Structure 1
Amino acid sequence: MSFAERIDAVLHHARPDRVPFAPYDNLVPRGDFARELRDRGMGLCLRLGTIWSEQPNVVVQTRSEGDAQITTYITPRGKVSMRRKTHLGRIADGSSIVEQGLIKGVEDYEPVLFMIDDTIFHVDNSIYFNAARDVGTDGVIFHGGV
């Protein structure tokens, strides 16, 4: 069985020939060692998004303060900001934790509702199909969200 067939078997409550092994993709080594691991049965679980969004009437400003990133959204209905903690270590791999959200008081609802109404979503399924072609049966692809 290929890695993709093993994952498919597990998802359909069937028994694979061996347990599929796939670490987080950001922890997989690169180069010859990665190929050796894949030849021994390790698979790839790729996370990617095919949907993206834009807000044409919202100005976004970002600044850093130490290990925090402050993002301010300026709308015709006012401005709101959020604070994220960054630099969480290797496992987090570029992730962040929201320390302070957009809505801190009643006055923040109008700009946030404007941002929601102003959001335009786009879909590009070719991202998925290109990745599926490239990874073949060595892995599976999960949608990573917007």
Structure 2
Amino acid sequence: MTSYQNTNSLGCGGASASSTIFGCETVSKGQPAGISRPLDDKMENRTVKDRSAHSLEELVSDWISQHGAPRRFEPGANTDFEAIRRYMEQWGYRVRYHRARFSVSNGRGRPKMLSRRQLLELVDEFRTAEGLAPIIVEAA
């Protein structure tokens, strides 16, 4: 009798239904019986040191001491195109979107074509002049 005629075969070189397939044991129907995890992954085997009992206030204060306080923005500040266009109009600049680039003009000369990153850097110059937090965070 050949392996393709064997009724107990799963089609994997004559392996029986009770053999191990891909690292998990199977039952007679060919369904996984369950994957056993290493003992280190089970929660009941972890030590008390692994389970942190810090309160939320302690976690927040630890993060602020390591990374500094988070940046704060005024209500309504965002980087949406319309919000940037309105903000730059306050400074006398006209911003248009044209062919995946931004055209920025202050009424004198030819408009500059900027990428989104360059536009946000220009907006950051005006925001820092006002004493507001810049949009683009500096790399540490």
TM-score range for the pair, normalised by the shorter chain length:
under 0.3
Greater relative contact order (Cα 8 A, min sep 6): structure 1 or 2?
1
Q: TM-score, normalised by structure 2?
A: 0.25
Larger Rg: 1 or 2? 2
Question: What's the TM-score, normalizing by structure 1?
Answer: 0.24
